[in-house]
Amino acid sequence: MSQCHAAPLPDRAAIRVAGTDARNFLQGLITNDIGRASDGTAIHAGLLSPQGKILFDFFVVPLGNAYLLECAKVESSELAKRLGFYRLRAAVEIAEEPGLSVAAVWGGTPSLPEGAIAYADPRLSDLGYRVLLPDGADVSALACADASQSDYHAMRIGLGVPEGGRDYAFGDSFPHEALFDQLNGVDFAKGCFVGQEVVSRMEHRGTARKRVVPVEGDAGLPEPGTSIEADGQPVGRLGSVSGAMGLALIRLDRATEAIEAGVQLKAGGVAVKLRKADWARFAVPSEIPA
């Protein structure tokens, strides 16, 4: 049996949504079907603006009659506030959970200390597990090889999986651009949710022109946020970086035109090639024609 690796994720946090109306409350708001969050199975979802752009993304973890939303720590207070805005008269309690810390585990199955909550990462099985640890427990309790947050992101980048706030901007990206449609983040058959009309239209018309895709540099990549250009014309922007590997939000139509014309894409002077993730169901231009 392979050795698992465990990394603390101190930039993640959790919010509890509880009460008799919690299930119906979340179902009417989020991009995925809350009915899939049951029996220890979490879902990947987002809360959108009415214009269909991602305001927050998170994992929804069932916990008895309540749900935990694992999200970016820097966004947790705002997420709780936004959920409260929609609460109206629903019998729902929304509160941050400062007593929980988050870890990522991959390459094997962890042992769990008392009070820990583990679930398979719902985006992609190769990402392994997420673990919510109670006060007083740390990743050493998981009986895995120690890993760093950088190790986790290198693994995630290699798999081509984006993360909100790193690879796409909250408030300025559509779910298709962030690959929600590819990574189990949206259910087009579930019924209404905030922003559904825009997202459904993009799905049925196939109008998503931007996508987060893996990129490989011929040297170490520059810092996140660097423009990716073809002959000086922007085609995208670099997100997460690990050495010569990275993720970038790319205008695929512009990148295709450039590559078909034999123009090399560059990020800060470093030549880059686009790569299609093994699980992706959309075309990615990668080679300059001979």
Give the fold, CATH level 3, of 5-159.
Answer: Gyrase A; domain 2 (3.30.1360)
pLDDT confidence bin for 288, thresholds 50/70/90: low
The CATH architecture assigned to 209-274 reads Beta Barrel (2.40)
- Looking at every residue in the chain, the average pLDDT score rounds to 95
User: What residues pair up with 236 in beta bridges, in sequence order?
Assistant: 228, 250
User: What residues pair up with 63 in beta bridges, in sequence order?
Assistant: 66
pLDDT recorded at residue 136: 87
pLDDT recorded at residue 286: 83
Mean pLDDT in residue range 14-29: 97
CB 52, CB 198: distance < 8 Å? yes
Nearest to 117 by CA among 46, 62, 35: 62
pLDDT recorded at residue 256: 96
CA–CA gap between residue 149 and residue 147 (Å, rounded): 7
pLDDT recorded at residue 142: 96
What HEC string does 49-113 produce? CCCCCEEEEEEEEEECCEEEEEEEHHHHHHHHHHHHHHHCCCCCEEEECCCCEEEEEECCCCCCC
pLDDT of 152 > 80? The answer is yes
pLDDT of 267 > 60? The answer is yes
pLDDT of 290 > 60? The answer is no
pLDDT of 121 > 60? The answer is yes
Mean pLDDT in residue range 120-139: 96
CA–CA gap between residue 173 and residue 123 (Å, rounded): 18
pTM, two decimal places: 0.94
Q: Give residue limits of the domains in the chain.
A: 5-159, 209-274
pLDDT of 270 > 90? The answer is yes
